[in-house]
Amino acid sequence: MTEHVVIVGGGTGGTVLANDLADRLDAELDAGDVRITLVNDGPDHVYKPVWLYVPFGQREPDDGRRPLDELVDDAVDLRIDRVSEIDTEAQRLRFDGTAPAVDYDYLVLATGSTLEPERIPGLVDGGYDYYSEVGSTALRDELLEFTEGHLVLSVIGTPHMCPAAPLEFVFMADDWLRERGLREDVDITYTYPIQRVHGNPHIAEWARPIMDDRGIEVETFFNAESIDPEAKTITSMEGTELDYDLLVTIPPHGGIDLIEEAGLGDNGWVDVDKHTLEAQAVDNVYALGDTADTGVPNAGSVAHYQAGVVGQRLASEVRGRPPTATYDGKTLCFIETGMDAASFVEFDYENQPSPAPPSEKLHWSKLAYNDSYWLTARGLL
Amino acid sequence: MTDIEPDETVDARGAACPGPLMDLIGQIRDAEAGDVVRLLSDTDQSLTDVPEWAEEAGNELLAVEEFDDHNAFYVERS
């Protein structure tokens, strides 16, 4: 009997896993003991960290986009369709339109995050972002024209992709404006929903003095309730109102509705065992990356490491052995602190981050990894 | 024990900090004035996070129930 592994989502987690399995199960694929299908709703793989650099003119959105069929091993069946239903009882996926349903023996959900700016009144018209291709290019055009006034960076919801990116943006904007001789004419304010500047207290403790030194104003306990694009104001649930000239936000994020409809978890995140990454509600379903509700950051490194764990577990399952690989919460993250310096953190479920002193070497390490990322997507790095 | 009847309950047990507080804020965001949201959290940090935020936002922390393995916070949206 041929076992069928179906992966939904062709982002970092899904693509790395597909290639990991193709390599790990090479013999079983050749023998016809297993089949691997990767389902994505579009033909391209998108590497989102590129978008942070687009507003500053250092990258183009196309730098982060490549066709999946160039990245995924030929042994993997690539299917470009949009899933319309996850039936965990029948172990079947249904699709939009007339595309035939697919039965699975093992399902991996790697559907990631989607932006939901419409949840905040006025945000669609009033705010810019760098969490999408179209957002990052619109922000680039606006930022190039921005020579004076109040730049507000507001983190509206958590969890969001790349928790360090809001800090990186204000650090880079500060440096970029200084280099261009404009910083004295631009005020920068950073808002965050809780009582510190980052969800992780160790990173917050490290970042706050840098913000103070660089004259970046901070508003904590600021949960945006509404934006008035005409008056150019943003108001928080806590009753604070800020005037802005340029508003950059991290919009609210959510997962896909199908996950909640399938009873796998709330808000599009799958309730999983945070070590095995198996769904809590049903058998033979895994989740990874942003989709897995583990409490670790929504970051590419997390999806990458989790893909390795799920790959090992699935290989054991296919071979009829008990799976033993577990995820320990490992997260790596470079944090840009300007246009030519960065820090670095590494942590897991047991060990807290301790940000490295910012250096040019770490900045170039980050850029070098971003360019090497395509080897990660191919399962080589 | 309290006899407060919550309009909504958010079960954030198992979530790491600041997950429980953000879950509470998300539920309060969708609530009507006067609604009571009950947050279940097993993170000790919630014992300071939740009262601090409730005061900052002008919402009322009506009660905190302490259980062996978690706490229940009752917050009324102003």
Is pLDDT of B16 > 80? Answer: no
Nearest chain B residue (CA) to A236: B57
Q: Could you tell me the residue ranges of all domains in chain A? A: 3-113+255-330, 117-252
Is pLDDT of B3 > 80? Answer: yes
> A71, A30, A31, A27: which is closest to A47 by C-alpha?
A71
Q: Are A116 and A253 in contact (CB under 8 A)?
A: yes
> A108, A100, A95: which is closest to A8 by C-alpha?
A108
Is pLDDT of B17 > 80? Answer: no
Whole-number percent of chain A with pLDDT over 90:
97
DSSP 3-state assignment of A231?
coil
pLDDT, position A5: 98
Interchain contact A193–B (C-beta under 8 A): yes
Q: Are A190 and A211 in contact (CB under 8 A)?
A: yes
State how far the Cα of B5 lies from the Cα of A381, in Å rounded to an integer: 53
State how far the Cα of A156 lies from the Cα of A210, in Å rounded to an integer: 22
pLDDT band at B31 (very low <50, low <70, confident <90, very high): very high
| HSE-CB for B16 with a 13 A CA cutoff | 15
* Predicted ipTM of the assembly: 0.92
Interchain contact B76–A (C-beta under 8 A): no
Give the active site residue among B7, B11, B13, B17: B17
Which residues on B lie below 8 Å from A296 (Cβ)? 16
Is pLDDT of A257 > 80? Answer: yes
Segment among A16-30, A50-64, A112-126, B3-17 with least mean pLDDT? B3-17
Nearest chain B residue (CA) to A225: B29
Specify whether B17 is catalytic.
Answer: yes
Q: Does domain A117-252 match CATH 3.50.50.60?
A: yes
pLDDT, position A158: 83
Q: How many angstroms from the chain centroid is the CA of residue A189?
A: 24
Which is it for the CA torsion A134, A139, A142, A144, positive or negative?
negative
Average pLDDT over residues A349-363: 96
**Whether A295 and B14 lie within 8 Å, measured CB to CB:** yes
pLDDT, position A240: 97
Q: Which residues 4-63 of B have a C-beta within 8 angstroms of A? A: 14-19, 21-22, 25-26, 28-29, 49, 52-53, 56-58
Which is it for the CA torsion A237, A225, A113, A331, positive or negative?
negative
pLDDT, position A173: 98
Helices of type H across chain A: 12-24, 26-31, 68-71, 123-126, 133-145, 165-179, 201-213, 257-261, 300-318, 360-377
Of A158, A201, A296, the CB nearest to B22: A158
Domain A3-113+255-330 is in which class? Answer: alpha beta
**Whether B21 and A194 lie within 8 Å, measured CB to CB:** yes
> A81, A41, A111: which is closest to A286 by C-alpha?
A111
Average pLDDT over residues B1-19: 87
Q: Which of B56, B59, B75, B78 to mutate to test the interface with A (most CBs of A within 10 A)?
A: B56
State how far the Cα of A261 lies from the Cα of A38, in Å rounded to an integer: 21
> A254, A33, A19: which is closest to A160 by C-alpha?
A254
Is pLDDT of A83 > 90? Answer: yes
pLDDT tens digits, A205-230: 999 999 999 999 999 999 999 999 99
Letter string b/e over residues A5-15, b meaning 16 or more CB atoms within 10 A of that residue's CB? bbbbbbbbbbb
Average pLDDT over residues A156-164: 91
Average pLDDT over residues A27-50: 97
pLDDT band at B14 (very low <50, low <70, confident <90, very high): confident
Tell me which architecture the domain covering B8-76 has in CATH: 2-Layer Sandwich (3.30)
Full strand arrangement of the beta sheet holding A186-191: A216-219, A186-191, A149-155, A246-250
Q: Could you tell me the residue ranges of all domains in chain B? A: 8-76
pLDDT, position B15: 81
Interchain contact A14–B (C-beta under 8 A): no
Is pLDDT of A98 > 90? Answer: no
> Is A187 buried (19+), middle (13-18) or exposed (0-12) by CB count in 10 A?
middle
Average pLDDT over residues A164-172: 98
pLDDT band at B1 (very low <50, low <70, confident <90, very high): confident
DSSP structure string for chain B:
------SEEEE-TTPPTTHHHHHHHHHHHHSPTT-EEEEEE--TTHHHHHHHHHHHHT-EEEEEEE-SS-EEEEEE--
Asked if the peptide bond before residue A55 counts as cis, ω within 30 degrees of 0, the response is no
